[in-house]
Amino acid sequence: MAILVDSATRVICQGITGSAGATHTRGCYAYGTRMVGGVTPGKGGTFFEIEAAPTGGGYDGKGPIKEAKLPIFNTVAEAVKATDANATMIFVPPPFAADAIMEAAEAGIRLVICVTEGIPVVDMTKVKRALQRYPKVRLVGPNCPGLITPEACKIGIMPGYIHKAGDIGILSRSGTLTYEAVWQVTQAGFGQSSCVGIGGDPVKGTDFIDVLELFERDPETKGVVMIGEIGGSAEEEAAAWIKKNMSKPVAAFIAGRTAPPGRRMGHAGAIVSGKSGTAESKVEALRAAGIAVCDSPAEIGATLLKAMKRL
């Protein structure tokens, strides 16, 4: 496998009957992800139907699309017991999302991907503390597009067709900007081992270093693209980690050089507070660690391919 997920990963969706949950459950299933069920409290015992010849929103899979009837459960624990799910994709609305994450952890799911945007920060600080009791659980997100191992497993909202199986790992705090980088790599004729959106919130489950560590250990990954943005100091910490531990080439882009201080740029975590969290500080730290940082978002793919001596 590449990292975190492969074709054997068994996935449920929490919030499967909501509009986003339903759309993306179909989208992931069509891509070839082994979707095994869903959870909506109160709708246990019913089924989520996927038609055989889907058209329109969310369908972008290449493989044969079979019709499916996914069982819906009242609780994650029941879903795990019945389906052996080992990953979950959360689309539960913000006021209930923190609870959904903890329910998944308690039910023994090891990989929790929370796509939901807009969870209060205090809720996430509580989740982070509570997750310390479940050291084997990995939370990705919240406020993230999810993750994908191309042509094997997609858990999230990213368009599947822009990806191609390959050996470049991509990790990012942003959604569409990640697609941009993926697309540049694919257009250049290369593919991705895995792509992980860690999310745009200030308090999140998985940070750059966690994913870098996985890419460094993964024999299928030969080079890494890291996309950061203003706010916090995760990029600076990642730079120091890369310098010390990473043997594979890394290229980076930092979004938000033109962002004014004190303003939240869409993502809750994308804010320059006083003198901290600026793009300049991040670019400087990354360059000092020997990482190829591009100034233009149009050059993300090319910058890595050059660093890998493929261009």
Residues lying near another protein in the complex (CB under 8 A): 23, 27, 57-58, 60, 94-95, 118-126, 128-129, 157-159, 161-162, 172-180, 183, 200, 202-203, 227, 229-234, 237, 253, 255-260, 263-270, 273-275, 295-299
H helices of 52-131, in order, are 76-83, 94-106, 121-131
Q: Judged by CB, which is closer to another protein: 246, or 254?
A: 254
Q: Cα separation of 297 and 311, whole Å? A: 17
State the sign of the Cα–Cα–Cα–Cα dihedral 18, 24, 29, 33.
negative
Distance in Å, CB of 304 to another protein, minimum = 16
Here the tokens at position 166 are 């390959």
- β-sheet with 34-39: strand ranges across: 47-50, 68-73, 34-39, 10-14, 87-90, 111-114, 138-140
The answer to whether 57 touches 19, Cβ cutoff 8 Å, is: no
Marked catalytic residue, from 267, 268, 272, 279 = 267
Smallest separation (angstroms) from another protein to the CB of 150 = 15
163 in active site: no
Q: Which tokens in the block code for residue 258?
A: 């033109």
**Dihedral (Cα; 149, 153, 155, 160), 10-degree rounding:** 70
CA distances from 156 to 48, 151, 183, 214 (A): 18, 14, 17, 19
Active site residues: 267
